[in-house]
């Protein structure tokens, strides 16, 4: 039986791509050196997959920043403002990804959005009426040839035109209907070029097919692929879907002349049913996504073989459910984790082994159960007794409906709080973290390595906190923060202070561009060991007379940015975490911290891709879990929350139902249409839509911020509007942060005037 991998991690086992890119950004290396690093990563990836014995390996799954951006770039979908900079190729590309501020001009980055239901982010292609869509690049061809020269015959993975168009933003009068023919024709050129180079298999990634589709979407998809598939020549075509099932287009897809179809059996709840009810064409190959590309637990071979059995087809390839981009490289890099834990996990490299083992077991048929591989695998699923904490389970069982309700109601609290805090109109604040400069990281690392005592470590952080408070006072911000210098990462930090969590050393996963995250693993039942943030917040408060905001991460985000358990439900896990964070909220309050921000940066992450599932499968327990965290604080305590994206136009009632007092969110990179929705929905919570983009080092001008605020004021009541950046400042430098915040405060003062 054959095996297939959709895509492989590309940041490098030791994050080589990140470090080289950052050096390139700061002009300390030339482009050539960065290209070499990338080449080595691609080579190692290909050879790892080849060595494991994978049949279908992708090329063109590599990216310097993001594959959607690559696709835009490939087809000349480069907004004029970036071209006008007149930069060399690679730098134009990075200007689109990160914005540009320098001798040649000053432009913002493209908008960035979550890639479906993952924590990976793509750059939103912009198409205006003058966009000259045209195949101008050769990346897919080059990377195919590079692989071939290494002795690896690859399938060439492309983001399909349908998904690309659906994700693009149209900024002029033109719509998808006006450009789909042109883009399709350019894809046809690319396909012909690939075929003429001897490419045998082209993979079209069309994850958009797992979303709700209407008749016009189905028609668009059929139109595009009828044309493309007519021109593919000798090359075979693989339609690859992931992150769910294709229930709205299954029949149409099986009727199109694709040679292989990749379906997701992990997240696609209806995939098996679709095949059973409608059948699967005999003349096509099914690439069955059975190995989870998103989580790190070992595959349960018993389950997988039984699904294969139910599929009951001959032409099946064992595949991953999605690209392995979403899991870390290899367990081999984990030197500190004991075998007792490790044996339960499979990262990208280990998943290659699983694919091959499953393929071999599937060939054995009934005999598979007698093989050592199978028995060893099954032993892993016989229960992990150390993961159970009866006290935690009893606490969850004792939660009552009243625990989910904060009293008095919002309106009354708002009045009380206006009296207590006496803040100016348009209060200014930040989202929590201040620049994590070299010294900050060094302090943490030295403490972790035992090179610094707890006292030395604390002393350094206190010094940083005091400086940070002084800086904020000097800048004139209204609600201050301690700066989060003690935190490596907003989820890992809390995980480290909770029972039930385990950690890795090198299990990095790409979040966007050069930003990688190292999600902790929820191993067992979760509870709080002891107060986590109280001493830092209390210290910060002792440095100033202004209000200091305590800073926590919410239960939904902690869960969504961890590798979650597969042996209990997500709902159960979230409630356990919610109770732990609630303990922390109440301790902060008891220690005089009466503004507390509970970040839910990743609330939307696990929102089902299909609307019909939103409430029943997710929001109906995620939103109450958030309320559980803050429901018992006094009306005089102000609860803030923060989200990292503005895409919640469609779940505004759910966001309001979190019942926070203030919410801040990203808005500067996307248009301000969310403001209309807030107004339409009579949003009660006070809001701080980010007034500038912190993902880029660019300093926003006062005028720019005033313009953003002016727009906001036309939709949001003055009494409810806060002024803040769109996210934490930890990835920024000291200098740009100071300048930006000075401008932010100046802008707030200007509109107060």
Active-site positions read 695
- Find the part of the chain contacting ligand GLN (CB under 6 A) among 169-177, 184-192, 402-410, 724-732: 724-732
Shortest CB 628 distance to Zn ion, Å: 22
Q: Which is nearer to Zn ion, 157 or 601 (CB)?
A: 601
Residue among 485, 482, 398, 403 nearest 443 (CA): 485
Q: For residue 316, what are the β-bridge partners? A: 286
Instruction: State the binding partner of 730 from ligand GLN, Zn ion, none, CB within 5 to 8 A by kind.
Output: ligand GLN
**E strand or H helix at 287, and its extent?**
strand 285-291
**319 CB-near residues (< 8 Å, 6+ apart):** 3, 4, 5, 6, 56, 262, 287, 288, 289, 290, 291, 355
Is 675 within 8 Å of 712 (Cβ atoms)? Answer: yes
Is 708 a binding residue for ligand GLN by CB under 6 A? The answer is no
**Token couple for 12:** 């490098």
Of 41, 431, 593, 741, the one binding ligand GLN (CB under 6 A) is 431
Residue 480, beta-bridge partner list:
548
Window 637-666: contact mask with ligand GLN (x via CB under 6 A): -----x-x----------------------
**Contact pattern for Zn ion over residues 365 through 394, marking x by CB under 5 A:** ------------------------------
727 scored as a contact of Zn ion (CB under 5 A): yes
Collapsing DSSP to helix, strand or coil, 356 comes out as: helix
* Complex with ligand GLN: residue 207 or 554, whichever CB lies closer: 554
Nearer to ligand GLN, 70 or 584 (CB): 584
By the rule CB under 5 A, 152 interacts with Zn ion: no
Is residue 66 a contact residue for ligand GLN (CB under 6 A)? Answer: no
Tell me: cis bond preceding 690? Omega within 30 of 0 counts: no
Closest CA to 546 of 663, 422, 723: 422
- Window of 16-24, 294-302, 577-585, 722-730 that interacts with ligand GLN by CB under 6 A: 722-730
Which of the stretches 221-229, 357-365, 430-438, 605-613 binds ligand GLN when contact is defined by CB under 6 A?
430-438
Query: Pick from 152, 159, 728, 748: which binds ligand GLN (CB under 6 A)?
Result: 728
Contact 72, 664 (CB under 8 A): no
Nearer to ligand GLN, 350 or 599 (CB): 599
For 93, 263, 318, 356, the CA distances from 5, given in Å and listed in that order, are 27, 12, 9, 11
Sort 68 into a burial class: Cβ within 10 Å, 0-12 / 13-18 / 19+. Answer: buried
- Count of residues that interact with ligand GLN, criterion CB under 6 A: 13
Interaction of residue 644 with Zn ion, rule CB under 5 A: yes
**Residue in this structure with the two tokens 């896990």, named with its chain if needed:** 573
Least gap, CB of 269 to ligand GLN (angstroms): 29
Provide, rounded to whole angstroms, the least separation between the CB of residue 743 and ligand GLN. 19
Least separation in angstroms between CB 554 and Zn ion = 12
Q: Does 432 bind ligand GLN (CB under 6 A)?
A: yes
Strands 521-528 vs 515-517: parallel, antiparallel or unpaired? unpaired
Residue ranges of E strands in 176-270: 201-205, 236-240, 260-264
Q: Does 552 bind ligand GLN (CB under 6 A)?
A: no
Q: How far is the CB of 74 from ligand GLN (least distance, A)?
A: 30
List the x/- string, 585-614, binding to Zn ion by CB under 5 A: ----------------x-------------
Q: In degrees rounded to 5, what are phi and psi of residue 118?
A: -120, 175
Binding mask 488-507 for ligand GLN (x = CB under 6 A): --x-----------------
Exposed / middle / buried, residue 279 (Cβ in 10 Å: 0-12, 13-18, 19+): exposed
CA distance 642 to 617: 23
Out of 248, 478, 599, 659, the residue judged to bind ligand GLN by CB under 6 A: 599
Residue 575 or 598 with smaller CB distance to ligand GLN: 598
> Which of 727, 741, 745, 748 is the binder for ligand GLN (CB under 6 A)?
727
Give the residue with the Cβ less far from ligand GLN, 521 or 644: 644
Q: Report angle CA 605, 610, 616 to the nearest 5 degrees.
A: 80
Starting at the edge strand found earlier in the chain, the sheet holding 2-4 runs 2-4, 316-320, 285-291, 260-264, 236-240, 201-205, 155-159, 58-59
Summarize as ranges the residues that interact with Zn ion (CB under 5 A). 601, 644, 727
Summarize as ranges the residues that interact with ligand GLN (CB under 6 A). 431-433, 484, 490, 551, 599, 601, 642, 644, 727-728, 730
């Amino acid at each position: 039986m054959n095996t297939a991998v959709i895509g492989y991690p590309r940041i490098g086992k030791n994050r080589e791509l990140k470090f080289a890119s950052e050096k390139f950004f700061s002009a300390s290396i030339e482009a050539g050196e960065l290209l070499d690093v990338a080449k080595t990563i691609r080579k190692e990836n290909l050879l790892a997959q080849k060595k494991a014995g994978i049949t279908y390996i992708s090329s063109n799954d590599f990216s310097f920043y993001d594959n959607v951006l690559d696709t835009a770039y490939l087809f000349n979908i480069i907004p004029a403002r970036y071209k006008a900079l007149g930069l060399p190729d690679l730098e134009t590309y990075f200007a689109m990804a990160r914005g540009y501020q320098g001798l040649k001009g000053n432009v913002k980055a493209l908008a960035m959005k979550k890639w479906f239901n993952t924590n990976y982010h793509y750059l939103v292609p912009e198409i205006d009426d003058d966009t000259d869509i045209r195949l101008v690049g050769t990346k897919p061809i080059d990377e195919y040839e590079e692989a071939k020269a290494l002795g690896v015959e690859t399938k060439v993975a492309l983001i399909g035109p349908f998904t690309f168009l659906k994700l693009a933003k149209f900024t002029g009068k033109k719509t998808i209907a006006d450009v789909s023919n042109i883009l399709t024709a350019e894809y046809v050129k690319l396909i012909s070029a690939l075929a003429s180079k001897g490419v045998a298999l082209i993979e079209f990634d069309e994850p958009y097919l797992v979303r709700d589709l209407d008749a016009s979407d189905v028609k668009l998809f059929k139109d595009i692929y009828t044309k493309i598939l007519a021109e593919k020549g000798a090359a075979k075509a693989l339609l690859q879907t992931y992150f769910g099932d294709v229930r709205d287009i299954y029949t149409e897809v099986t009727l199109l002349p694709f040679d292989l179809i990749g379906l997701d059996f992990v997240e696609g709840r209806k995939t098996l049913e679709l095949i059973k009810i409608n059948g699967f064409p005999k003349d096509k190959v099914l690439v069955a996504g059975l190995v989870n590309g998103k989580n790190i637990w070992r595959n349960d071979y018993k389950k997988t073989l039984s699904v294969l059995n139910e599929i009951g087809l001959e032409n099946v390839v064992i595949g991953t459910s999605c690209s392995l981009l979403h899991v870390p490289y290899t367990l081999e890099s984990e030197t500190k984790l004991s075998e007792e834990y490790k044996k339960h996990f499979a990262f990208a490299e280990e998943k290659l082994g699983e694919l091959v083992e499953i393929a071999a077991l599937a060939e054995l048929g009934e005999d598979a159960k007698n093989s050592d591989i199978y028995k060893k695998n099954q032993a892993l699923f016989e229960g992990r007794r150390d993961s159970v904490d009866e006290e935690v389970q009893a606490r969850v069982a004792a939660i009552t409906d009243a625990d989910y309700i904060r009293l008095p109601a919002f309106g009354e609290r708002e009045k009380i709080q206006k009296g207590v805090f006496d803040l100016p109109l348009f209060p200014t604040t930040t989202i929590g973290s201040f620049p994590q400069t070299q010294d900050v990281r060094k302090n943490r690392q030295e403490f972790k390595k035992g090179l610094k005592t707890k006292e030395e470590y604390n002393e350094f952080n206190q010094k940083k906190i005091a400086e940070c408070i002084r800086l904020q006072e000097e800048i004139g911000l209204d609600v201050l923060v301690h700066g989060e210098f003690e935190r490596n990462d907003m989820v890992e930090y809390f995980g480290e202070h909770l029972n039930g969590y385990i950690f890795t050393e090198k299990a990095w996963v790409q979040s966007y561009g050069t930003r990688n995250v190292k999600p902790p693993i929820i191993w067992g039942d979760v509870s709080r060991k002891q107060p986590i943030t109280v001493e830092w917040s209390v210290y910060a408060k002792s440095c100033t007379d202004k209000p200091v905001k305590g800073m926590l991460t919410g239960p939904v985000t902690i869960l969504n940015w961890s590798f979650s358990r597969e042996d209990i439900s997500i709902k159960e896990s979230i409630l356990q975490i919610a109770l732990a964070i609630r303990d922390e909220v109440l301790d902060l309050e008891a220690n005089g911290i009466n503004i507390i921000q509970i970040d839910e940066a990743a609330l939307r992450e696990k929102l089902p891709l299909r609307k019909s599932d939103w409430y029943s499968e997710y929001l109906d327990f995620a939103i109450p879990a958030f309320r559980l965290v803050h429901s018992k604080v006094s009306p005089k305590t102000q609860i803030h929350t923060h989200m990292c994206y503005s895409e919640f136009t469609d779940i505004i009632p759910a966001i309001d139902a979190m019942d926070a007092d203030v919410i801040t969110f990203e808005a500067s990179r996307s248009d301000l249409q969310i403001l209309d929705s807030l107004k339409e929905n009579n949003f009660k919570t006070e809001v701080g839509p980010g007034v500038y983009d912190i993902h880029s080092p660019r300093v926003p001008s006062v005028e720019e911020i005033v313009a953003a605020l002016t727009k906001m004021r036309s939709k949001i009541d003055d009494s409810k509007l806060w002024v803040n950046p769109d996210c934490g400042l930890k990835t920024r430098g000291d200098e740009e942060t100071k300048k930006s915040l000075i401008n932010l405060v100046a802008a707030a003062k200007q509109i107060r005037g």
